[in-house]
Structure 1
Amino acid sequence: MKYLYLDARYEKVRLDGQVRSAVVLLAMGVNGAGFCGN
């Protein structure tokens, strides 16, 4: 894996009848040819 992209964001989610902020973590790896691995 040549590149690793990481990001995080807050989204509003409904949990037990209440709306709360929750973190969504995103990660994507890209090889030297520019393709993502599955």
Structure 2
Amino acid sequence: MSRTISARLSQTQTETLDGLARRKGVSRSQVIGVYG
């Protein structure tokens, strides 16, 4: 996988985790601990 694609994916994943964190009322680090 090229670096550009992986960077884009990781950015999208981060935004998704932010959304999950906000919906669940937890910090992103906690969400990453669960889903990452």
TM range (shorter): under 0.3
Q: Greater helix percent: which structure?
A: 2
Structure number with bigger Rg: 1
Q: TM-score, normalised by structure 2?
A: 0.17
Greater RCO structure (CA 8 Å; 6+ sep): 1
Q: TM-score, normalised by structure 1?
A: 0.17
Q: Greater strand percent: which structure?
A: 1
